[in-house]
Structure 1
Amino acid sequence: MTEPHATSRAHVAHFDAVADTWEEDPRRTAIARAVAGAILDAVPLAGTEQAMEFGCGTGLVTALVAPSVGHVLALDSSAGMLDVLRRKLPELGIANVEPMEADLAQQMPAGPFDLVFSSMTLHHIEDVAGLIARVYAVLAPGGRIAFADLDKEDGSFHGAEVPGVMHHGFEAAELTRWLEDAGFADVRVRTAHRIRKSREDGSTREYPVLLVTARRPA
């Protein structure tokens, strides 16, 4: 395993530090409810799927998707976030989630998976096209992806205080191109949620969250 980049270390340290209070922000729980609902609406599920979520954090989306699939391998690079997830799984009565500390830039579980999903994580990944190709390789034939992240924005959503932000959202066209170049079919992009956030100048701005879904051909 290669030595993590300094930015990656700062990114992990940031999320470790905020893990215990992460779910106190009602905006985050609202995003999770909207994204999980959009995933469940967009992806046909039989309840037996082997799923992987990357960037699971404290499991806000995980806990809402898990009852609709067979098993979720929940990945995050922050041990602090995963500790919160592990503590709350028994409280929620969820037994089909397996938390795993992993950095997808260095480690990709072998699969095969029927579903790979994530929420608000792609903007922390430098080579998104490369990650998409690697996800394609671990999907079972007919498997699906569902990724939620910000629509393209001007950088004001995170500002300068959050380390490890590699992209200020994404255009639907570039997500579609990366997925189709990797071999995916049935690519669909829709708006899953809109985040209202106050800016430094006192104004309020709305930031759309996109959900992109696609299928690996059988």
Structure 2
Amino acid sequence: MNFDKVARVWDDELRIERSKIIAKEIKLNLLGKENSVAMEFGAGTGLISFNLCNEFGNITLIDNSEEMIKVVREKVKDIDVNNIKSCCYDLTENSLDEHYDVIYSSMALHHIVDINKITSKFYNMLNSQGRLCIVDLNEEYGSFHKNEVEFDGHNGFSQKWMKEMLEANGFTKIKSYTFYNGKKGIEDNAIEYSLFIMIADKE
């Protein structure tokens, strides 16, 4: 998917409502990490973070789509939020010399080919006692992206596989569960899918 082309129409009713549910689930798992410094990876237009801006001292939104980040910056200006900053940056190819107390990502990792590489970067970017929150698709058989011919990511993830990946990169106290069931598409052609949240700590 060319995210630059869809940035201006990204915030449809379904995504807006789903983002509220996702943000609420992330909030439930902060467990004392409130008012800390956070980063959202693959932030898109910021739907998740704008629902969480009161939970953190500062949030950095990172996305490799220039148009998505332009939308974020317009929103920041329009609603006068002073604790959100944004950065158009490809973290999969480059490193960022910044550190955070919380890193979270929603519906972004299944677009990343090398999960081991990006989770290793997350670990290195977290402060001691930091927390990683991942929200993504449960493993499925390719139906979610069946109409996107250029999609070369993952068809969701096995929670067991993701847990083992995070453990291999040093994360501890890992827990996960499915919290959302939804449909993509219209009526008879709608595709059912579910989302999990995975929480992992850096000691």
Misfit runs of 4+, over 6 Å: none
TM-score (norm 1): 0.87
Is the CA contact (8 Å cut-off) linking 1:123 and 1:165 kept in structure 2? Answer: no
Q: How many corresponding residue pairs? A: 203
Partner in structure 2 of residue 210 of structure 1: 196
Which AA in structure 1 matches 2:109? Answer: L
Alignment match of 1:154 (pick from 128, 141, 159):
141
Percent identity reads: 31
Structure 1 residue 46, shift from structure 2 partner? 4.7
Report Cα offsets for 1:15-70 as digits up to 9, x if no partner.
111111111x2221122111111000012245431111111000000111121001
Partner in structure 2 of residue 189 of structure 1: 176
TM-score (norm 2): 0.93
Give the structure with the larger helix fraction: 1
Give, in whole Å, the separation in 2 of the partners of 1:93 and 1:47.
Answer: 21
SS at match of 2:142: coil
SS at match of 1:140: strand
Kindly indicate whether residue 87 of structure 2 is the aligned counterpart of residue 100 of structure 1: yes
Report Cα offsets for 1:88-129 as digits up to 9, x if no partner.
112223111111001111123222210000110001100112
Which AA in structure 1 matches 2:120? Answer: A
Kindly indicate whether residue 130 of structure 2 is the aligned counterpart of residue 143 of structure 1: yes
Is the CA contact (8 Å cut-off) linking 1:156 and 1:199 kept in structure 2? Answer: no
SS at match of 1:80: helix
Structure 1 residues 74-85: aligned runs within 5 Å: 74-85=61-72
Give, in whole Å, the separation in 2 of the partners of 1:159 and 1:70.
Answer: 39
Kindly indicate whether residue 4 of structure 2 is the aligned counterpart of residue 55 of structure 1: no
Partner in structure 1 of residue 4 of structure 2: 16
Alignment match of 1:68 (pick from 55, 67, 81):
55
Is the CA contact (8 Å cut-off) linking 1:45 and 1:69 kept in structure 2? Answer: no
> What RMSD in Å do the two structures reach over aligned CA positions?
1.7
Kindly indicate whether residue 16 of structure 2 is the aligned counterpart of residue 29 of structure 1: yes
Partner in structure 1 of residue 74 of structure 2: 87
